[in-house]
Amino acid sequence: MDLWVGIFAAAGVAALMGLALKVGNLTSSDIGETYSVMATFENVGGLKPRAPVKSAGVVVGRVDGIKFDGTTFEAIVTLKVDKRFPFPKDTFANIYTAGLLGEQYVGLEAGGDTDTLKNGDKITHTQDAVVLEKMISQFLYSKASENKDSETKDPAVTDKKQEK
Protein backbone atom coordinates (compact mmCIF):
# COMPACT_ATOMS: atom_id res chain seq x y z
CA MET A 1 0.00 0.00 0.00
CA ASP A 2 2.81 2.43 0.89
CA LEU A 3 4.45 1.67 -2.45
CA TRP A 4 1.32 2.73 -4.38
CA VAL A 5 1.03 5.95 -2.39
CA GLY A 6 4.68 6.75 -3.18
CA ILE A 7 4.21 6.02 -6.90
CA PHE A 8 1.05 8.15 -7.00
CA ALA A 9 2.78 11.04 -5.19
CA ALA A 10 5.81 10.87 -7.53
CA ALA A 11 3.53 10.88 -10.58
CA GLY A 12 1.69 13.92 -9.18
CA VAL A 13 4.93 15.83 -8.62
CA ALA A 14 6.13 14.96 -12.14
CA ALA A 15 2.82 16.16 -13.62
CA LEU A 16 3.05 19.44 -11.70
CA MET A 17 6.63 19.98 -12.89
CA GLY A 18 5.60 19.35 -16.50
CA LEU A 19 2.70 21.76 -16.16
CA ALA A 20 4.92 24.43 -14.58
CA LEU A 21 7.43 24.14 -17.44
CA LYS A 22 4.68 24.34 -20.05
CA VAL A 23 3.03 27.36 -18.45
CA GLY A 24 6.41 29.03 -17.90
CA ASN A 25 7.21 28.61 -21.60
CA LEU A 26 10.39 26.74 -20.71
CA THR A 27 9.84 23.56 -22.68
CA SER A 28 12.13 22.91 -25.59
CA SER A 29 10.92 23.88 -29.01
CA ASP A 30 11.84 22.75 -32.48
CA ILE A 31 13.52 26.06 -33.30
CA GLY A 32 16.90 25.30 -34.84
CA GLU A 33 19.56 27.77 -35.90
CA THR A 34 18.38 31.34 -35.61
CA TYR A 35 19.14 34.83 -36.82
CA SER A 36 18.67 37.87 -34.60
CA VAL A 37 16.62 40.95 -35.55
CA MET A 38 15.60 43.98 -33.52
CA ALA A 39 12.39 45.99 -33.35
CA THR A 40 11.57 49.10 -31.33
CA PHE A 41 8.24 49.71 -29.61
CA GLU A 42 6.88 52.62 -27.56
CA ASN A 43 5.04 50.15 -25.31
CA VAL A 44 5.65 46.40 -25.01
CA GLY A 45 2.94 45.86 -22.39
CA GLY A 46 3.54 42.56 -20.62
CA LEU A 47 5.82 41.05 -23.27
CA LYS A 48 8.54 38.92 -21.68
CA PRO A 49 11.76 37.29 -22.84
CA ARG A 50 11.18 33.79 -24.29
CA ALA A 51 7.71 34.82 -25.48
CA PRO A 52 6.85 33.24 -28.81
CA VAL A 53 7.34 34.96 -32.15
CA LYS A 54 4.56 33.80 -34.48
CA SER A 55 3.66 34.18 -38.10
CA ALA A 56 0.30 32.91 -39.37
CA GLY A 57 -0.21 31.31 -35.94
CA VAL A 58 2.96 29.21 -36.17
CA VAL A 59 5.87 29.72 -33.75
CA VAL A 60 8.87 30.84 -35.83
CA GLY A 61 11.07 32.18 -33.06
CA ARG A 62 11.36 33.58 -29.53
CA VAL A 63 11.87 36.97 -27.89
CA ASP A 64 15.52 36.97 -26.86
CA GLY A 65 15.62 40.16 -24.82
CA ILE A 66 13.97 43.49 -24.04
CA LYS A 67 15.97 46.63 -23.25
CA PHE A 68 15.04 50.27 -22.70
CA ASP A 69 16.71 52.92 -24.87
CA GLY A 70 17.26 56.01 -22.70
CA THR A 71 17.74 58.33 -25.68
CA THR A 72 14.61 57.49 -27.68
CA PHE A 73 12.60 56.30 -24.64
CA GLU A 74 11.54 53.17 -26.50
CA ALA A 75 11.85 49.46 -25.82
CA ILE A 76 14.27 47.53 -28.02
CA VAL A 77 13.10 43.96 -28.49
CA THR A 78 15.56 41.39 -29.82
CA LEU A 79 13.95 38.48 -31.68
CA LYS A 80 15.56 35.15 -32.52
CA VAL A 81 13.93 33.82 -35.70
CA ASP A 82 14.48 30.33 -37.09
CA LYS A 83 16.72 30.42 -40.18
CA ARG A 84 14.22 28.21 -42.02
CA PHE A 85 11.92 31.25 -42.20
CA PRO A 86 13.51 34.14 -44.12
CA PHE A 87 11.22 37.17 -43.73
CA PRO A 88 11.22 40.16 -46.13
CA LYS A 89 12.88 43.40 -44.99
CA ASP A 90 9.50 45.19 -44.91
CA THR A 91 8.00 42.74 -42.39
CA PHE A 92 5.67 44.17 -39.75
CA ALA A 93 6.19 43.25 -36.07
CA ASN A 94 3.11 43.58 -33.87
CA ILE A 95 2.58 42.73 -30.22
CA TYR A 96 -0.57 40.70 -29.71
CA THR A 97 -2.31 39.10 -26.75
CA ALA A 98 -3.44 35.46 -26.92
CA GLY A 99 -7.07 35.70 -25.82
CA LEU A 100 -8.50 38.50 -23.73
CA LEU A 101 -6.06 38.25 -20.83
CA GLY A 102 -3.53 35.73 -22.17
CA GLU A 103 0.20 35.88 -22.73
CA GLN A 104 1.64 38.39 -25.14
CA TYR A 105 3.63 37.44 -28.21
CA VAL A 106 5.19 39.08 -31.25
CA GLY A 107 3.40 38.51 -34.54
CA LEU A 108 5.34 38.89 -37.78
CA GLU A 109 3.46 39.81 -40.95
CA ALA A 110 5.54 39.37 -44.07
CA GLY A 111 5.76 42.22 -46.53
CA GLY A 112 6.48 42.02 -50.24
CA ASP A 113 10.15 43.00 -50.43
CA THR A 114 12.45 40.60 -52.27
CA ASP A 115 15.35 41.27 -49.87
CA THR A 116 15.18 39.30 -46.63
CA LEU A 117 16.08 40.16 -43.04
CA LYS A 118 19.60 39.22 -42.03
CA ASN A 119 21.28 38.76 -38.66
CA GLY A 120 21.40 42.14 -36.86
CA ASP A 121 18.79 43.88 -39.06
CA LYS A 122 16.06 46.10 -37.63
CA ILE A 123 12.34 45.74 -38.30
CA THR A 124 11.12 49.30 -38.87
CA HIS A 125 7.37 48.69 -39.12
CA THR A 126 6.04 47.98 -35.62
CA GLN A 127 2.80 48.25 -33.69
CA ASP A 128 2.75 48.53 -29.90
CA ALA A 129 0.92 46.31 -27.48
CA VAL A 130 -2.71 47.16 -26.78
CA VAL A 131 -2.92 47.95 -23.08
CA LEU A 132 -6.35 47.03 -21.74
CA GLU A 133 -6.28 49.62 -18.95
CA LYS A 134 -5.50 52.40 -21.43
CA MET A 135 -8.37 51.36 -23.70
CA ILE A 136 -10.81 51.28 -20.79
CA SER A 137 -9.75 54.73 -19.56
CA GLN A 138 -10.08 56.18 -23.08
CA PHE A 139 -13.55 54.65 -23.38
CA LEU A 140 -14.65 56.02 -20.02
CA TYR A 141 -13.21 59.46 -20.81
CA SER A 142 -15.03 59.59 -24.16
CA LYS A 143 -18.30 58.54 -22.49
CA ALA A 144 -17.87 61.19 -19.81
CA SER A 145 -17.24 63.89 -22.40
CA GLU A 146 -20.28 62.74 -24.41
CA ASN A 147 -22.46 63.04 -21.30
CA LYS A 148 -21.04 66.48 -20.54
CA ASP A 149 -21.71 67.64 -24.11
CA SER A 150 -25.28 66.31 -24.07
CA GLU A 151 -26.01 68.09 -20.78
CA THR A 152 -24.90 71.46 -22.14
CA LYS A 153 -26.93 71.01 -25.34
CA ASP A 154 -30.12 69.88 -23.58
CA PRO A 155 -32.45 72.94 -23.35
CA ALA A 156 -34.11 71.67 -20.15
CA VAL A 157 -30.75 71.48 -18.42
CA THR A 158 -29.76 74.90 -19.76
CA ASP A 159 -33.04 76.44 -18.51
CA LYS A 160 -32.54 74.96 -15.03
CA LYS A 161 -29.00 76.35 -14.91
CA GLN A 162 -30.30 79.83 -15.86
CA GLU A 163 -33.01 79.73 -13.16
CA LYS A 164 -30.37 79.34 -10.45
- Asked if pLDDT for residue 99 goes beyond 90, the answer is no
Instruction: Write out the DSSP string of 60-87.
Output: EEEEEEEEEETTTTEEEEEEEEETT-PP
d(Cα 164, Cα 155) in Å, to the nearest integer?
15
What is the SS3 assignment for 105?
Answer: strand
| Structure confidence by residue, pLDDT tens digits, 58-92 | 999 999 999 999 999 999 999 999 999 999 999 99
Rounded to the nearest integer, the mean pLDDT of the chain is 84
Supply the pTM of this predicted model.
0.68
